Structure 1
């Protein structure tokens, strides 16, 4: 049963509906829309970028901690180290449904709570003295982080036009690349520290404590939606509502609360599954890299452990710029599949080079290419949003995307066993194969969406639908069709 709107919450939407119906709404100019989007960017993007970089840093610093001497204090013999990576992703997968908390609850409350939770868990890793204790921390870290990262792409769709959300997703997801970049450099500095506390414990403290502090900033700074964005004036809120409703539906009534029928539609839509399998392929290839790149570089034989931590940073710096560039181009040309396939092909090339070469310089160069598979993840986030027109349906779509996709690390974190050092050829070939799978599936989904767009064109579905809100579908049970971005 739909919740009744609270007085005052729908003021802007009701006014906009009335003006649209009476043809008195002054449509915003492109310059006016850009000005509003810049305001949204300044408030939202730095914070979600920073929080995600901290999230990735706190989950992936295990590789640096290992090289910083953790094995001297904790027994990681056999496959114990691989299990530390695997158990995190088991918990992460099982709790992917918590991404819907961004829709069910007030986003600023939800975000602050989960950030504080994972910051606390990340910090107390410094106090563990056994493998079992570290395993327990990794489980709770997986639960906490699953409630943040997978839901941010859904949150960003509340504020941006569907054809411009790709760049914003790219900025958000590039926080992972930057975290791996400065994480390697930070670990290099920490490993040089001499003191009574082991360097790996200092690493967990320095990288975990700031997260707790940023939870307060998230609670204070994140708006729950356009109508709650105090940094926008009345006209700017109307402009934002107008462009968000272009070719997708505004969710009216309670700003929070899932429409479970639409969630189910997103879960059942066959088009939700191909991005999920693409995400799976990306994660098989990418999820293991932050954990193993320092070890792979160290195994090249030309660098010591401290240098290997430092040299793991530059490939991720390049990845940061590639993500931003491809997502910007994806928005500009209003297509996702070709750019997703391009990034996956670059990743495959890097893994193939590593699987076939033994020269240190060539293998190190290939790492720069391998990490570009992560750019495909950013594109898949916006592609999923573009497939589903309502917020609740997107919540269902993102749940499918994340649940299938996050199964990839279960395989990926076990691709580079110590027995296959230093070249890890089997793992490199498997990673290359999954990168190529992502490229092929991207092409398949693009062709599918092009076909459906042509069918809708024959049916007379307009290419641009200016304004529509969920109340129409909620009352009439009619869900209007929208053209796809392929």
Structure 2
């Protein structure tokens, strides 16, 4: 599974740097200043976010429309292991393939003329989605130090919250198009065709690693490596694929499964909201259907800023669990208010709190990266996180049946319970990691390990323990 980079890919700077590190010649590297580190981080940041007419054109009677979503999630869940392609293959090639694959499948959905064709497209779209999205957090961990990864994961995830804010408006606008091509087909083309073109940019401009980033100078590469290697191991001496032993360690580590259970709880509570928030608002009895679509956007806009704020503070304070628990608690309060009130005002206000559960996702992505010290272990842990966590929508999307309207009490209480489960498990995992850190204190494990102690090529008998971010 491991692969060496081609001989021609090693620049003199890269060879000299790695050789010096392997010899333990620390004198060749001058420790960076805070301003130098900040400049490199800024440079990395700049470089690296029911369809109208379908039921009529394609027979989606009965539960066929719901089955489209179910088929998508079945293929999506079963394909989560493909996120390891970001580690096994060159990221720019893997990402370009994923983007092109997704764009192609999304586009050809517009050509579907029967139920069988559409269901096949949704299945392949689930596979394409699993190839890309779950692996992005792993890719980001190649470039950023542990104390700065949370904010970058937050920026990535916050795009989903903002998409929910404008997605409904976009779909509504497209549904008003009148012409020879059905609006739902136009929507698929608009989503898919530009994505295919974007794959070209990915192929040429996405760096595979710090040492392969052409926009960084030799000094900046050394600084980036120095920061990223603090208290975690990085594969810098060669481009390596998955290390099976380390991947398995990440999969079987109990500390990989607690975040996965939390992710499951988040998805149970959150997955139903984009589908049913407009319906819930319309059932308040005070707004028209069009107003309900518009009023569903502000809660997600607030969630966008919450994610950014929580992740920034989480990095600054080096705490994941407390912020994850806070977001989950806010979500639980929102669902409880909605379950116990009948007035339009309180119930609409509660939605602003309910959607805050989504902030836990970005924090969990950063937390998994902080728990596991090697790239292959993180690949295994992210596979567990995504596979278990993405089962949540299968339950969440069925919590608000039409028979429960207008208050959807059962769905609200179940969602609140899962939010509280996330908060409790956040506390459990934090206490566990604090206990592990104190145990390492007694064993004399260094609080900060620099590059020489964390190189991917270090001897197997060297110290492998690293402090946890709790």
Deviation string for 1:399-426 (max 9, x for gaps)? 1111111111111121122222332221
The answer as to whether partners of 2:2 and 2:88 remain within 8 angstroms in 1 is no
Q: State which drifts further: 129-138 or 261-270.
A: 129-138
Distance 1:477 1:288 in 2: 49
Between the aligned partners of 2:3 and 2:192, the Cα distance in structure 1 is 39
Q: Which moved more, 1:13-22 or 1:439-448?
A: 13-22
1:95 aligns with 2:99: no
Deviates more, 1:369-378 or 1:126-135: 126-135
Which of 377, 382, 390 is the equivalent residue of 1:398?
A: 382
Does the 8 Å contact 1:353/1:366 carry over to 2? yes
Q: Secondary structure at the match of 1:308?
A: helix
Residue 14 of structure 1 corresponds to 18
Q: Contact between 2:229 and 2:455, CA under 8 Å: does it hold in 1? A: no
Cα distance change, pair 334–435 in 1 and its aligned pair in 2 (3 A): same
Q: Does 1:84 align with 2:68?
A: yes
Matched residues, number: 465
Matched, 1:376 2:360: yes
Following superposition, the deviation at residue 200 of structure 1 comes to 2.8
SS of the counterpart of 1:227?
Answer: coil
Instruction: State the partner residue of 2:38.
Output: 34
What are structure 1's unaligned runs of at least 5 residues? 50-62
CA shift at 1:381, angstroms? 0.3
What is the aligned partner in structure 2 of residue 332 from structure 1? 316
Query: Which 4+ residue blocks in structure 1 deviate beyond 6 angstroms?
Result: none
- Output aligned runs, 1:24-423, within 5 Å: 24-44=28-48, 49=49, 63=50, 65=51, 68-423=52-407
- Structure 2 distance, partners of 1:335, 1:190, is 43
How many Å apart are 1:288 and its aligned residue? 2.0
SS across alignment from 1:232 = coil
The alpha carbon displacement at 1:20 in A equals 5.5
Contact 1:341 1:439 in 2 (8 A): yes
Aligned match of 2:408: 424
SS at match of 1:226: coil
Offset at residue 163 of structure 1 (A): 1.1
CA contact (8 A) 1:472 1:478 kept: no
Report the Cα offset of residue 4 of structure 1.
Answer: 5.4
Map Cα deviations across residues 349-407 of structure 1 (whole Å, 9 max, x no partner).
Answer: 12122222233333222222111111100000000000000101110111111111111
TM-score normalised by the chain length of structure 1: 0.90
Instruction: Report the alpha carbon displacement of residue 181 of structure 1 after superposing the two structures with TM.
Output: 1.4
Distance 1:2 1:209 in 2: 35
Structure 1 residue 213, shift from structure 2 partner: 2.1
C-alpha distance in 1 between matches for 2:118 and 2:402: 20
Instruction: Tell me: CA distance 1:341–1:34, structure 2 relative to 1, closer, same or farther (3 Å).
Output: same
Whether the 8 Å contact between 2:20 and 2:28 is mirrored in structure 1 is no
Q: How far does the alpha carbon of each residue in 1:176-234 deviate from its partner, in whole angstroms, 9 at most, with x for none?
A: 11111121221232233333333333322223322222222222221000010000000
TM-score between both structures, scaled by the size of structure 2? 0.93
Could you list the per-position Cα deviations for residues 91-150 of structure 1 after superposition, in whole angstroms to 9, with x for gaps in the alignment? 111000000000011111111111111112222333334444332222111100001010
Q: Shift in Å at residue 69 of structure 1?
A: 4.2
- CA RMSD for the aligned pairs? 2.0
Whole-Å separation in 2 of the counterparts to 1:24 and 1:116: 43
Does the CA contact (< 8 Å) of 1:296 and 1:422 recur in 2? yes
Q: Say which SS state the counterpart of residue 187 (structure 1) adopts.
A: helix
- What secondary structure does 2:105 align onto? helix
Q: Distance in 2 between matches of 1:19 and 1:246?
A: 19
Cα distance in 1 between the residues matched to 2:246 and 2:385:
16
Q: Is contact 1:263-1:392 (8 Å) kept?
A: yes
What CA distance in whole angstroms lies between the structure 2 residues aligned with 1:349 and 1:77?
37
Distance 1:133 1:417 in 2: 27
Deviation at 1:171, TM superposition (A): 0.5
Task: Find the aligned partners of 1:206 and 1:38 in 2 and give their Cα distance.
Answer: 32
Q: What SS class does the counterpart of residue 335 from structure 1 fall into?
A: coil
CA distance in 2, matches of 1:95, 1:424: 32
Asked if structure 1 preserves the Cα contact closer than 8 Å seen for 2:230 and 2:454, the reply is: no
**Distance change in 2, residues 1:139/1:303 (3 Å):** farther
Q: SS of the counterpart of 2:241?
A: coil
Q: Cα deviations across residues 262-291 of structure 1 (Å, max 9, x unaligned)? A: 101101111000000000001111122222
The alpha-carbon distance between structure 1 residues 453 and 135, as it changes in their structure 2 partners (threshold 3 A), is same
